[in-house]
Amino acid sequence: MRLNQKLYDLFKKRAREVNIEVLCLGLGYTAVTLSDGGIGLSYTHFEDKKSCMLLNKHIDYEGQPALQLLEKIKSDHPVERSMALALVNALNHKDALEYPEDRKNQIMFDQFNIGAGTRVAMVGFIGPLVDVLKQKNARVEVMDASRGMGEKSDFYAKLGNWADVLLLTSTSILNNTTEEILQNVHPKVKTIMLGPSTPMVAAVFEHLPVHMLAGTVPIDKANILKATRHGMGTPVLQKFSRKSYLSL
């Protein structure tokens, strides 16, 4: 996948210069902290658990150069990619802290004129956001394979002839579907990548029709790590983070 290669190429120099401090592989999210103070998150993506092992090989990344884990962004194993994407966000943490905040998604709604009658396609069901969209009388279609929502061919057709806006969870990076989904988008559709996994890096998405990145930038390391260890999800993690955006 070109997206994975770009993530690797953009961060390999920085990854050589720092060590991993903590790698916390939680049931909901994964967190990585670095020797330079960086911290990043990513959704922990794995298929149905069939044994006590989520990884096939024991590697202790802590205290080691970050480059060793960054290589796993190109892995076929979703858990390894989850760890590597959290690392990418940790490597980018300092830059991401500079982006403006959109705590209530108001800037996103205003910039893309999301309101009554707007046709919104969503990949990855986000309950609180769906509730807000319905309150605004937007029309919403959702595809989420893990919940059995949506049929791929029908949804892709809607991306080409129905949708005004696409809300695309960055978990799609972890299952390698981002580029496939975006190949089906009509040129007039405005796409927003969102969620704690989102790498807030414009250059990563230069080859794709993405118009905004809406991510989660941790600011309280201790509480982020504790929430991750305790299997907490997005609503808790965002209490200890900035909900930032970057227009592309």
pLDDT digits (tens, 9 = 90+) for 63-118: 999 999 999 999 999 999 999 999 999 999 999 999 999 999 999 999 999 999 99
Contacts of 166 (CB under 8 A, 6+ apart): 120, 121, 122, 123, 159, 181, 185, 189, 190, 191, 192
Residue 49 is predicted with a pLDDT of 66
Q: What's the DSSP call for residue 195?
A: S
| Beta-strand relationship, 165-169 and 212-218 | unpaired
Residue 50 is predicted with a pLDDT of 66
Mean pLDDT of 156-161: 97
Q: 209 φ, ψ to 5°? A: -80, 70
Residue 224 is predicted with a pLDDT of 98
Q: How far is CA 247 from the centre of its chain?
A: 16
Looking at the chain, which residues constitute the CATH 3.40.50.11590 domain(s)? 106-217+242-247
Q: CATH number of 106-217+242-247: 3.30.1370.10, 3.20.20.110, 3.40.50.11590, 3.40.50.80?
A: 3.40.50.11590
- Give the whole-angstrom CA distance, residue 197 versus residue 33: 15
Confidence band of 231 (pLDDT split at 50, 70, 90) = very high
Task: Count CB-CB contacts under 10 A for residue 206.
Answer: 10
Residue 51 is predicted with a pLDDT of 66
Residue 25 is predicted with a pLDDT of 96
Does the structure show a pLDDT above 80 at 47? no
Does the structure show a pLDDT above 90 at 57? no
Residue 146 is predicted with a pLDDT of 85
- Kindly report the CATH number that applies to the domain delimited by 2-96: 3.30.390.100
**Nearest to 174, CA basis, from 23, 36, 48, 72:** 72
Contacts of 223 (CB under 8 A, 6+ apart): 239, 240
- Give the whole-angstrom CA distance, residue 240 versus residue 223: 7
Specify the long-range contacts of residues 234-239, CB closer than 8 Å, at least 24 apart.
Answer: 234/195, 234/196, 235/128, 237/29, 237/41, 237/196, 238/196
Mean pLDDT of the chain: 95
Q: Rounded to the nearest 10 degrees, what angle do helices 78-91 and 2-17 cross at?
A: 50
Decide: 229 and 200 in contact? Cβ < 8 Å. Answer: no
**Which residue's structure tokens are 């705590």?**
103
Confidence band of 55 (pLDDT split at 50, 70, 90) = confident
Confidence band of 172 (pLDDT split at 50, 70, 90) = very high
| Beta-strand relationship, 241-247 and 212-218 | antiparallel
pTM of the model: 0.95
